[in-house]
Amino acid sequence: MDPELLSVTVLLPDMFQTFLKQEALVNPYYEKVKRESEEWLSECSRMMTEAPTGVQKRFALAMQGYCQGALIQIDNHFASKTPSLEEIVLIRQRSAGCKPLYHLVEYAHGLLIPDEVFDNPIIQELECLGMDMVAISNDILSYRKEQAEGVPHNMVTVCCSNGMSQQKAFNTVGKLLEQRYKHWDEAEASVPSWGEETDAQVRRYIEGIKCVVKANLNWR
């Protein structure tokens, strides 16, 4: 290739005309937010470099599920659609943003759990039960605040919108939570074995799910 073609000097047109001559407004928090966001991105990049491929894949899929749940809430809001209780439970299971935390626990503890474990129905049930417990307890405790703010994607709010009194709505959602506690004990007692070494790591993963649920309930 001709060396002269590798370096060419051109004159750019004047793009800063009329109102574009005015100095752009800068958010007063720009530098602070930029610094914090870049630190966060740097940390995420470091984690993804260090994390095993399986952890990266599971975290990415969990984040995808979270985004999908959030988008369904937005779609319902703009369509003025009130979901059924069964529908909002499934939506909140994802939009509560709980599942990505499981795989951060997996990463932080350096767990090396085979993919087949995550394909097991009992492990998947425990993950879903943890997500439900977080979402249900959150919606019960945040109902008053979210009602005042006009937030529609709350299980108690959905029950009220579908004709229940507030007390009946709390009783109904509370019963869902009690059912999850019971199902958790049954599922945890049914976890299969993959060998001593893997079983020890699976127990730590399950404890991580419990910690996520407890952290949400005790969050201030």
The 10 Å Cβ neighbour count of residue 26 is: 8
Alpha helix locations (H) across 19-165? 30-50, 53-78, 85-95, 99-108, 115-118, 121-141, 143-149, 155-161
Tell me what the mean pLDDT of segment 38-47 comes to. Answer: 83
- Span of 3-17, 53-67, 123-137 with lowest mean pLDDT: 3-17
Domain 52-217 sits in CATH 1.10.600.10:
yes
Half-sphere exposure of 200 (CA within 13 A, CB side): 4
- What percent of the chain clears pLDDT 90, i.e. is strictly above it? 72
Q: What pLDDT, on a 0 to 100 scale, did the predictor assign at position 49?
A: 80
Q: What pLDDT, on a 0 to 100 scale, did the predictor assign at position 169?
A: 95
d(CA 31, CA 203): 43
Residue in 154, 147, 144 with CA at minimum distance from that of residue 82: 154
The model's pLDDT over 101-115, given as tens digits with 9 standing for 90+, comes to 999 999 999 999 999
The CA–CA distances, whole Å, from 51 to 23, 36, 116, 120 equal: 44, 22, 18, 22
Chain mean position to CA 126: 16
d(CA 82, CA 153): 9
Q: Which structure tokens are listed for 183?
A: 């199902």
Type and span of the H or E element at 166: helix 166-188
The CA–CA distances, whole Å, from 13 to 10, 16, 17 equal: 10, 9, 10
The 10 Å Cβ neighbour count of residue 143 is: 20
| 95, 73 Cβ separation under 8 angstroms | yes
The model's pLDDT over 145-201, given as tens digits with 9 standing for 90+, comes to 999 999 999 999 999 999 999 999 999 999 999 999 999 999 999 999 999 999 999
d(CA 110, CA 107): 5
pTM: 0.80
| 218, 141 Cβ separation under 8 angstroms | no
Residue in 107, 136, 2, 91 with CA at minimum distance from that of residue 44: 107
Q: What pLDDT, on a 0 to 100 scale, did the predictor assign at position 3?
A: 59
Q: Which amino acid is at 209?
A: I
The CA–CA distances, whole Å, from 50 to 53, 54, 59, 83, 100 equal: 9, 12, 13, 41, 17
